[in-house]
């Protein structure tokens, strides 16, 4: 056979998965930017897989909302319109505040508590100002940890695959220090409520946090969104 990039020969039955992961990473890392077109033919040469496999990977990523497949025109990295972002935050507001409530209910379990505290120690606001990139990473870690300990694995999957990463990257490009600061303060309140085992409080604070975030994102200049000029 032949070795692909990482030096490990993806075993039989893992090639598509491998390719999906590779493309996903490339998108999150910004090597593939929203709106960019993906040429199937190029990838076959570049990664060393066949076109059929590439097509399957595209379908997977389309379902995850990371790509958009346009008939006879192939795949492009998804870009959200202002309206879609508004809708997205409205959904997040509900799903993640539910997750926060469940997390507060389950924080009594030692494993959950330990896990949450360890994550919180990593991402808690420190005195120093953070680079945008690192903030985004911490933000993702924090939100994900809450969803994890909610104990609802379907909810977890749902939020995970909710194209959140795409839009977050999209807006991360134009994030300002004061937004990070404000977001941090919201996080403190959410974390506190969860650690206190206060479901209603956790739900409320998470909802407020996302409402504020959403409003801020929608105030961004137009260039950040698809469609409007």
**Using the rule CB under 8 A, is 87 a contact of a second copy?**
yes
Q: How far is the CB of 70 from a second copy (least distance, A)?
A: 10
Q: Which of 40, 76, 158, 208 binds a second copy (CB under 8 A)?
A: 158
| Helix (H/G/I), strand (E/B), else coil: 209 | helix
Cα distance between residue 96 and residue 210, in whole Å: 9
**Using the rule CB under 7 A, is 213 a contact of DNA?**
no
| Helix (H/G/I), strand (E/B), else coil: 49 | coil
Q: Which of 36, 153, 176, 185 binds a second copy (CB under 8 A)?
A: 153
**Using the rule CB under 8 A, is 182 a contact of a second copy?**
no
R_g of the chain computed on alpha carbons: 19
Interface positions, 64-83, toward a second copy (CB under 8 A): 64, 71-72
Given a contact cutoff of 8 angstroms between Cβ atoms, the answer to whether 62 and 68 are in contact is: yes
**Three-state SS letters, 173-208:** CCCCHHHHHHHHHHHHHHHHHHHCCCHHHHHHHHHH
Q: How far is the CB of 185 from a second copy (least distance, A)?
A: 26
> How big is the CA angle at 177 (ends 202 and 81), to the nearest 5 degrees?
75
Q: How far is the CB of 89 from a second copy (least distance, A)?
A: 10
C-alpha to C-alpha distances, 37 to 104, 147, 209, nearest whole angstrom = 42, 32, 34
> Mask 57-76, x = binds DNA (CB under 7 A)?
------------xxxxxxx-
Torsional sign, CA 198, 204, 206, 208:
negative
Q: Which of 6, 7, 11, 110 binds DNA (CB under 7 A)?
A: 11
Short-list 42, 79, 77, 75, CA closest to 59: 75
Q: Which of 44, 56, 124, 186 binds a second copy (CB under 8 A)?
A: 56
Q: How far is the CB of 88 from a second copy (least distance, A)?
A: 6
Interface positions, 29-58, toward DNA (CB under 7 A): 38-41, 44, 48-53, 55-56
Short-list 228, 210, 212, CA closest to 82: 228
Residue 175 tokens read as 């994030």
> Mask 195-224, x = binds a second copy (CB under 8 A)?
------------------------------
Tell me which residues touch a second copy (CB under 8 A).
Answer: 12-14, 16, 52, 55-56, 59-60, 62-64, 71-72, 84, 87-88, 90-91, 94-95, 98, 152-155, 158, 162
Tell me which residues touch DNA (CB under 7 A).
Answer: 10-17, 38-41, 44, 48-53, 55-56, 69-75
């Amino acid at each position: 056979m032949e070795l692909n990039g990482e030096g490990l020969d993806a075993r039989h039955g893992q090639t598509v998965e491998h390719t999906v992961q590779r493309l996903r990473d490339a998108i999150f890392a910004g090597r593939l930017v929203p709106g960019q077109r993906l040429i199937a033919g190029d990838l076959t040469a570049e990664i060393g897989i066949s076109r059929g496999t590439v097509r399957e990977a595209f379908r997977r990523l389309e379902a995850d909302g990371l790509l958009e497949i346009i008939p006879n025109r192939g795949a492009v990295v998804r870009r959200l319109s202002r309206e879609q972002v508004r809708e997205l935050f409205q959904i997040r507001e509900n799903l993640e505040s539910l997750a926060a409530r469940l997390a507060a209910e389950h924080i009594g379990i030692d494993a959950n508590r330990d896990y949450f505290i360890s994550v919180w120690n990593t991402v808690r606001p420190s005195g120093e100002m953070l680079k945008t990139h690192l903030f985004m990473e911490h933000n993702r870690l924090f939100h994900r940890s809450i969803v994890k300990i909610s104990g609802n694995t379907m909810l977890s999957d749902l939020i995970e695959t909710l194209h959140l990463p795409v839009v977050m990257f999209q807006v991360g490009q134009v994030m300002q220090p004061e937004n990070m600061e404000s977001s941090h303060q919201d996080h403190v309140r959410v974390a506190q409520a969860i650690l206190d085992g206060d479901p209603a409080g956790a739900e409320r604070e998470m909802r407020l946090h996302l409402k504020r975030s959403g409003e801020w994102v929608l105030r961004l200049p137009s260039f950040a969104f698809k469609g409007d000029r």
